[in-house]
Structure 1
Amino acid sequence: MKNNNLHNVKSSGFKTPNNYFESFETDLFERLNEKEYLKSSETSGFTVPKDYFESVENTILEKLNDSSKKPVIVLKPRSTFYYVAGIAASFAILFGLVFNNDSISFENIDTALIENYLYQEEYSNDDFASLFKTSDISEIDFIDINVSDETLNQYFENIEPEDLIFD
């Protein structure tokens, strides 16, 4: 690779003539004082025909007063297009409302679909908590109290003391 030795370069590669910066100012003023260089700046290079500004007003007025009227093309107004488009859109909406008999209810919606939606939206527990009023929620709503006596008796009969010891 040739780029490995770039930090070892001693010269920049740019060269100027000897005493260039010492004599630059005097050379510049000498060139500015010469008349040959200033001749090109005396004339702009643009020429105007003779009597152009005296006759331009008359030529413009002649073109404006030209009595030959050209026929104007009459275009159909766009309002008819908008009326037709509006009628077509209203028929499309009416057709969609009349023939769409699918009713959406909570029974038709899959629970997994709702859970996936909520999971993808990344709601936090605080967001859910802000939706409920404290008067609407009680601890009883989250406790399943419907345990029969038979189920409790069966649980107590089958429980072993080793299961009660926590690690």
Structure 2
Amino acid sequence: MKNKKLEHIKTTGFKTPKNYFEGLDDSILNQAKLSSKIDTNGFKVPESYFENLDTKVLDAVKTQPETKVIKLFNWKKAASVAAIAACMVLAFNLFFGSEDQISFDDLELTSIESYISEEDFTNEDFASLVTNDDISIYDFSELSITENTLENYIIENTTVEDLITD
């Protein structure tokens, strides 16, 4: 398509047939003369047509026979088919399922940590899980904590207000 600028276009693009405007006056006057001679528009309504129209329409609506509706989708059949399919899937999983049992050891440590950190557990919740039989003095006797580790723990887990008030 050629790039034409609007200021260089000299024609409007509309064309009329030859000798169109020469006979236009006569055709308009002839049309006006014809319409003045015609008294009616040619349409006629029967007498008392609109008075009985309501009853005729209502009678026509009442006398129409009810159409028989054929359902395309039967819910009872669909529910029974879905129940049979669910039973087959359940039976397949029970009889041909994998023999591997998932144990606590299969969980990753990071998923357990993220679960514990996202839940609102308190220290009392954890303390209720541990009994005196689980804790032994021998578990802590061989434990050695360096001063550096202890200082880092105190710096990271306490605030200045905690150190001043205690």
TM-score bracket for the superposition, by shorter chain length = 0.3 to 0.5
Give me the TM-score of the superposition, normalised by structure 2.
0.40
Give me the TM-score of the superposition, normalised by structure 1.
0.40
Q: Which has the higher contact order (CA 8 A, sep 6+)?
A: 1
